[in-house]
Amino acid sequence: MALKIVKGSIDRMFDKNLQDLVRGIRNHKEDEAKYISTCIDEIKQELKQDNIAVKANAVCKLTYLQMLGYDVSWAAFNIVEVMSSSKFTYKRIGYLAASQCFHESTDVIMLTTNQIRKDLSSPNQYDTGVALTGLSCFVTPDLARDLANDIMTLMSHTKPYIRKKAVLIMYKVFLKYPESLRPAFPRLKEKLEDPDPGVQSAAVNVICELARRNPKNYLSLAPLFFKLMTSSTNNWVLIKIIKLFGALTPLEPRLGKKLIEPLTNLIHSTSAMSLLYECVNTVIAGHDVNGSPFLPPFSLALFLFLRFQLCVQKLRILIEDSDQNLKYLGLLAMSKILKTHPKSVQSHKDLILQCLDDKDESIRLRALDLLYGMVSKKNLMEIVKKLMLHVDKAEGTTYRDELLTKIIDICSQSNYQYITNFEWYISILVELTRLEGTRHGHLIASQMLDVAIRVKAIRVFAVAQMATLLDNAHLMTGNVQRKGICEVLYAAAWICGEFSEHLENPMQTLEAMLRPKVATLPGHIQAVYVQNAAKLFATLLKNQEGNTDRTAAQETSQLMIDRLPLFVQSANLEVQERASCILQLVKYIQKLQQKDVEVAEEVIALFAGELNPVAPKAQKKVPVPEGLDLDAWINEPPSESESEDEQPKAIFAKEEPKHSRARHTEVDEKELAKRREARKQEQANNPFYIKASPSSQKVYQEAPGVEHIPVVQIDLSVPLKVPGLPMSDQYVKLEEERRQKERVEKKKKEKKKRKEKRGGRGKKHDSGPESEEDITPAHMVDIVTEEMPLADSEKLPVRSHRAAEALKSPAEDGDAESPASQEPKKKSSKEKREKKKDKDGDRKVSVKNGNPTRETALWMYIYGAEIDIQGNLQDGSQVVVSVIFENKCDNFLKTMEFNVLDSLNSKLQRPEGSGPHDGLSVPFQLPPGVSNEARFVFTMQSIVMPQKLKGTLTFIIKDSSTHEKLDFKLHFTCSSYLITTPCYSDAFAKLLESGDLKCSSVRLEGVNMPFHHLLARICFHHHFSVVERIDSCASMYSRSIQGHHVCLLVKTSGQTVSIDAKCDEPTLLGNVLDEIKQTFSQC
Amino acid sequence: MIRFLLLFSRQGKLRLQKWFTAISEREKKKIIRDMTTMVLARQPRTCNFLHWKDLKIIYKRYASLYFCLAIENQENELIALEVIHRYVELLDKYFGNVCELDIIFNFEKAYFILDEFLIGGEIQETSKQIVNRAIEASDMLQEGDSSEWFEVELFG
């Protein structure tokens, strides 16, 4: 026996230990695989020995080899042997190996259950610890089931070392064996108050993970966690708790209210960025809750809003930090805000644009993501210009390609919503074609095609640009690197061919398309070239036959005949086929020409008719002609007994249906014309079909650039720049000039109006042209741009601004009590502009301090009265008014108190215990130049009448500590009690048939706007939704917060609009109609 | 929770791998390949975060060694960086001015330290002292074992 042991130990002396193995591998860099395979053979030998020390050594080496990527699953049983050694040294190695190599499908795990149980109950805490650690890696459902009780017992072990491990492993057990959760939970909860902070934090971790999966079961723990949160100083634990609360608050809004203080304190006080970031993230997520079905009560919404503002400020600090990580995280969090509060992010545009210059690509990509959501009509050109600069500077194709796709994404999002000038866009696309080595040529091409087809007004310009591109095609094809961009030529050729009537010099373009070099282009592009050369040829013939001299036409034919054979030889079948077809055609035409026959009309008929974009699902809408059964066999199916050699025949026969179907769809000329007419009609009425609207036409005419674009001779020494193309910057400048001009004009008009008003005449102004400007996409007002609500034409799902809109009307009528009229007589120009904005329908009213000697101390924007959606579902009597306070003076404002004189019908909601005339203190102070929003809830008894409420705002100016007062009026229109509610046409019809509704109607004269704008206006201002629309007639529906149905039938003919309305409450209806009338009288 | 931790050298050689969820070997190899190529391709002085599938990858380079941690989407990136740093501190304390070779030759020790710090993808102990004490105690136990073993050898 002794000899055997001695022999073993001598053997062992010659064995490699782990260090030897590692060294050996490092010394055999050339033939590592071979060396390792000999090592594995040795290990196999070692594992066969009885000596556990040798085995453990072998297993340790195997663990190392496993990490290098070698399969060691064959040694699983040996690992179990080492695990069950009674010596801690070996046990430790065994468990390590097991945790690295075992997984759920390892068979031998079944054998370990008893061994692990033994180790768990070992008197040595480190044995237990090692077993727990190992178990955390390879626990299976079976192990979890069998050992759940043992681990649960360990949660109350005397040693905290074991307790915390047991608690954490319990989570893994819950996952594998969910039945264990219920019995273990009380003990887990107990651990939240464990005297040892490690165990406590482990319990927090586990409950946090559990709560994330199923928050509502853990609401009852909130008070406990709240206590922990206020007492704990351990940031690791705090972060987990905050995360947990983030999961709980959506279920219990009151919780959010309680959290405000501790969270805000943490945000202010913590120096740990990780904790700050967590708080900020949670607040942002909490703020999202606003939009979710769990609408918190208004006070909470208000508090959340305040915290939210704080967070946005903090994020800005993060982004400005020099630490790249913080910058990145700041941008990441911003993009979360962007989804719900685009405006809050938009005010940081400068900062985000700066991040585009960052040297870190991931930061630039984050910033790009943000930009996508930040564009508006107003800033699109500017942002894209900035991006174009980056495209030029960018190193590395990946980032440049990313930029390119982003530019196109940004511009084309929601049906080109933000593009006001398509000429500019085409120029951008053309500029993008100069990019070297991009693989997004097809993307640019599809954009060019899309815009040229859908925006009729742009075609002349587009065709000119495309012709230049074709002319300079050699610049794109010359370089191998630029292969991707060739795709653009596909679009260019097609556009030039299809809209060839707009070409200035068709002959030149035709020649460009038939150059021998074209044969080097990819086949599908050549095919388009050939086809479109034919279209061009047709147009040319038509032009030239008009002349007396026939030789020109014949020369054109000759050119075609000379050049086309090149394509007939093409290896590409498509090109070959098209070319030979067209060549024959041209030859025939030439023959006719020689006989002096006029052919142009007939040739052009080949390409007559307009190609329209077809929706992907359009085919479904084509009715199957009567008597055609697409599933019926045309020939009897071949019986299976037929011999194989007959099968080709069957295939041939199958092709026949094609022909027969074609015959079916052939419709006579009249029918075609009729359909075309109908389609045109439909397009005219389809708001989603971009057409030559008067506004875009106007923009186009205003741009003087087109005719003056000099077509310069190509300078070949500068190969990459396509000469003669206008720079997109030009449009940015134009746009700026135009805006400037508008501004000046408006100012003038405004002055005039003001004079009139001062003259005491409250008559309404005819501001026709201005109202049209409202809809013109190019229209922009740039005063207080950051806070400006969106213009009418931007129908974004923003909170609508109702009461304020109503506020505007008294101001306009020159109502003596209106807040605006309290302005002092002396007005600085700035104030005037502010005033003017009210007129333009910007729906914002400034209420100004009445003290004429002082600079305006406080601006108060009442910019939206919203109906609290939750409130209306339950009691239908709550209206929320959001007020923005902006401090315009140089002093700190504090102790602001908002008070409204309640009427019988409407009351300001005050906190319990306060009297009916007490003011509500505004829950913030305002440093100079800062603005903030507060919300106030009003309770309404009846909503059938519009309401005006008088109110005052008192505040103290800090330094002078004088009390100031500000009077204002709140105007609640009936429309603000309506909620946009969708309604299906059948439900709508039922409603009308029911006979419960009272009828009323109104006529509007001189409404000069497209029908869909008119509808959009009603939808936007008065919260209706369109139920159905047929031509120039539409039915609309809305519901009041108290459940009144309001139905409208809007018809238009010429400039007259008639609205027939039905509602179950005649007074409400009358008022709503009056308001609609007013909306349109103002434009 | 943390999904996995990888340590690899500048040449892409793996030095340590710890998986906190059960993953097949093939999948592991694929992830390791992805991680090394992604992380090594990063320019210096860029941020330490990456997005990969539904995970956040947080990496940090210490001398010639990259520490790469994958966390689930709702986790805090900055705390993950702290985890990496804390682990490096623990290694440093244990080995005394730790270098790559320490981890190569004592790779099992590196695992033992990690096991005392993290367990099942969660942080087990945030106190450096307590972790160190646990490691020391286990090592003592191991040494006790070994001396016993020698006795057996000699006098068995």
Q: Please give the residue that has the higher pLDDT: either A561 or A882.
A: A561
Q: What's the average model confidence in pLDDT over A253-265? A: 79
Q: What's the average model confidence in pLDDT over A325-332? A: 87
**Residue from B124, B126, B149, B155 whose CB has the most chain A CBs within 10 Å, to mutate:** B124
DSSP, collapsed to helix, strand or coil, labels residue B68 as strand
What percentage of chain A exceeds 70 in pLDDT? 75
Instruction: Read off the pLDDT band of A413 (50, 70, 90).
Output: confident
Q: How far is B64 from chain A (nearest CA, A)?
A: 17
Cβ contact, residue pair B119, A93, below 8 Å? no
Is the per-residue pLDDT at A721 higher than 50?
no
Determine contact: A92 vs chain B, CB below 8 A.
yes
Cβ contact, residue pair A136, B49, below 8 Å? no
Determine contact: A123 vs chain B, CB below 8 A.
no
Residue range A457-492, pLDDT digits in tens: 889 999 999 999 888 887 776 655 556 788 888 999
Which among B23, B45, B130 has the least Cβ separation from residue A324? B45
Cα→Cα distances A147→A112, A163, A191, A869, B63, Å: 11, 15, 20, 51, 43
Q: Please give the residue that has the higher pLDDT: either B6 or A815.
A: B6
**Residue from A95, A103, A200 whose CB has the most chain B CBs within 10 Å, to mutate:** A103
Instruction: Read off the pLDDT band of A692 (50, 70, 90).
Output: very low
Q: How far is B82 from chain A (nearest CA, A)?
A: 9
Is the per-residue pLDDT at A627 higher than 50?
yes
Q: Please give the residue that has the higher pLDDT: either A316 or B78.
A: B78
Q: What angle do CA A490, A495, A498 make, to 5 degrees?
A: 120
Residue range A965-986, pLDDT digits in tens: 777 777 778 887 887 777 777 7
Residues of A in contact with B50 (CB under 8 A): 362
Residue A252 contacts residue A295 (beta carbons within 8 Å) = no
Query: Which chain A residue's Cα is nearest to B106?
Result: A19
Q: What's the average model confidence in pLDDT over B68-73? A: 93
Pairing between strand B55-62 and B65-72? antiparallel
Cβ contact, residue pair A362, B50, below 8 Å? yes
Amino acid symbol at A614: V
Cβ contact, residue pair B43, A129, below 8 Å? no
Q: Which residues contact B117 (CB under 8 A, 6 or more apart)?
A: B86, B87, B90, B123, B124, B125, B131
Place of tokens 């208004």: A298
* pLDDT for residue A977: 80
Q: How far is B65 from chain A (nearest CA, A)?
A: 16
Q: What's the average model confidence in pLDDT over A380-408? A: 84
* pLDDT for residue A701: 41
Residue range A628-654, pLDDT digits in tens: 887 878 787 776 554 444 444 444 444
Residue A943 contacts residue A977 (beta carbons within 8 Å) = yes
HEC-encoded secondary structure of A357-398: CCCCHHHHHHHHHHHHHHCCCCCHHHHHHHHHHHHHHCCCHH
Is the per-residue pLDDT at B48 higher than 50?
yes
Q: What's the average model confidence in pLDDT over B130-154? A: 70
Instruction: Read off the pLDDT band of B55 (50, 70, 90).
Output: very high
Residues of A in contact with B14 (CB under 8 A): 67-69
Determine contact: A57 vs chain B, CB below 8 A.
no
Cα→Cα distances B100→A26, A561, B113, Å: 13, 75, 15
DSSP, collapsed to helix, strand or coil, labels residue B77 as helix
Q: What's the average model confidence in pLDDT over B63-79? A: 91
Query: Which chain A residue's Cα is nearest to B15?
Result: A67
Is the per-residue pLDDT at B154 higher than 80?
no
Cα→Cα distances B15→A67, A595, B117, B120, Å: 8, 87, 18, 20
- A116-130, A851-865, B71-85: which range is least confident on average? A851-865
Instruction: Read off the pLDDT band of B142 (50, 70, 90).
Output: confident
DSSP A799-831: PP--HHHHHHHHHHHT-TTSGGGGS-SS--HHH
Cβ contact, residue pair A138, B22, below 8 Å? yes
Which among A60, A239, A363 has the least Cβ separation from residue B79? A239
**Residue from A172, A327, A369 whose CB has the most chain B CBs within 10 Å, to mutate:** A172
Mean pLDDT rounded to a whole number for chain A: 75
What percentage of chain B exceeds 70 in pLDDT? 92
Note the residue count of chain A.
1083
CB pairs under 8 A between A and B: 160
Which among B49, B124, B148 has the least Cβ separation from residue A325? B49
Query: Which chain A residue's Cα is nearest to B24?
Result: A103
* pLDDT for residue B9: 93
Instruction: Read off the pLDDT band of A727 (50, 70, 90).
Output: low
Residue range A347-380, pLDDT digits in tens: 788 888 888 888 888 888 888 888 888 888 888 8
Cα→Cα distances A849→A454, A589, A966, Å: 52, 83, 6
Determine contact: A93 vs chain B, CB below 8 A.
yes
Is the per-residue pLDDT at A857 higher than 70?
no
Query: Which chain B residue's Cα is nearest to A202?
Result: B124
pTM attached to this predicted model: 0.59
Residue B64 contacts residue B9 (beta carbons within 8 Å) = yes
DSSP, collapsed to helix, strand or coil, labels residue A855 as coil
Highest mean pLDDT range out of A13-27, A404-418, A543-557?
A: A404-418
Of A480, A417, A470, the residue nearest A445 (C-alpha)? A470
Instruction: Read off the pLDDT band of A260 (50, 70, 90).
Output: confident
Is the per-residue pLDDT at A403 higher than 80?
yes
Cβ contact, residue pair B122, A206, below 8 Å? yes
Determine contact: A141 vs chain B, CB below 8 A.
no
Q: What's the average model confidence in pLDDT over A659-674? A: 55
Residue range A770-801, pLDDT digits in tens: 333 333 443 332 222 233 333 333 333 333 33
Determine contact: A744 vs chain B, CB below 8 A.
no
**A1008 conformational bin, left if phi > 0, alpha if psi -120 to 50, beta if neither:** beta
Residue A812 contacts residue A774 (beta carbons within 8 Å) = no
**A876 conformational bin, left if phi > 0, alpha if psi -120 to 50, beta if neither:** left
* pLDDT for residue A695: 42
- A441-450, A891-900, B93-102: which range is least confident on average? A891-900
**Residue from A4, A9, A61, A122 whose CB has the most chain B CBs within 10 Å, to mutate:** A9
A173 — phi, psi (to 5°)?
-65, -40
Is the per-residue pLDDT at A226 higher than 60?
yes
According to DSSP, the residues that pair with A935 across neighbouring strands are A882
Which among A129, A169, A198 has the least Cβ separation from residue B120? A169
Residues of B in contact with A69 (CB under 8 A): 14, 29
- A403-412, A508-517, A548-557, B87-96: which range is least confident on average? A548-557
- Taking the C-alpha atoms of residue A379 and residue A786, their distance in angstroms, rounded to an integer, is 11
Cβ contact, residue pair B77, A325, below 8 Å? yes
Which among B49, B125, B156 has the least Cβ separation from residue A2? B156
Chain mean position to CA A792 = 21
* pLDDT for residue A264: 80
* pLDDT for residue A282: 80
- Taking the C-alpha atoms of residue A281 and residue A150, their distance in angstroms, rounded to an integer, is 39
Determine contact: A169 vs chain B, CB below 8 A.
yes
- Complex ipTM, two decimals? 0.92
Is the per-residue pLDDT at A390 higher than 90?
no
* pLDDT for residue A129: 92
Amino acid symbol at A572: N
* pLDDT for residue A983: 78
Residue range A583-601, pLDDT digits in tens: 999 999 989 888 888 888 8
DSSP, collapsed to helix, strand or coil, labels residue A1026 as strand
Q: Which tokens hold the place of A639? A: 């019986």
Long-range CB contact pairs, B91-97, < 8 A, 24+? B93/B128, B93/B132, B94/B132, B94/B135
- Taking the C-alpha atoms of residue A433 and residue A770, their distance in angstroms, rounded to an integer, is 39
Instruction: Read off the pLDDT band of B18 (50, 70, 90).
Output: very high
* pLDDT for residue A731: 72
Cβ contact, residue pair A5, B152, below 8 Å? yes
Amino acid symbol at A853: T
* pLDDT for residue A752: 61
Instruction: Read off the pLDDT band of A764 (50, 70, 90).
Output: very low
Residues of B in contact with A273 (CB under 8 A): 78
Which among B24, B46, B152 has the least Cβ separation from residue A361? B46
Q: What's the average model confidence in pLDDT over A336-347? A: 78
Instruction: Read off the pLDDT band of A334 (50, 70, 90).
Output: confident
Residue range A462-471, pLDDT digits in tens: 999 999 988 8
Is the per-residue pLDDT at A441 higher than 80?
yes
Residue A919 contacts residue A899 (beta carbons within 8 Å) = yes
Residue range A514-539, pLDDT digits in tens: 888 888 888 889 999 999 999 999 98
Query: Which chain B residue's Cα is nearest to A95?
Result: B112
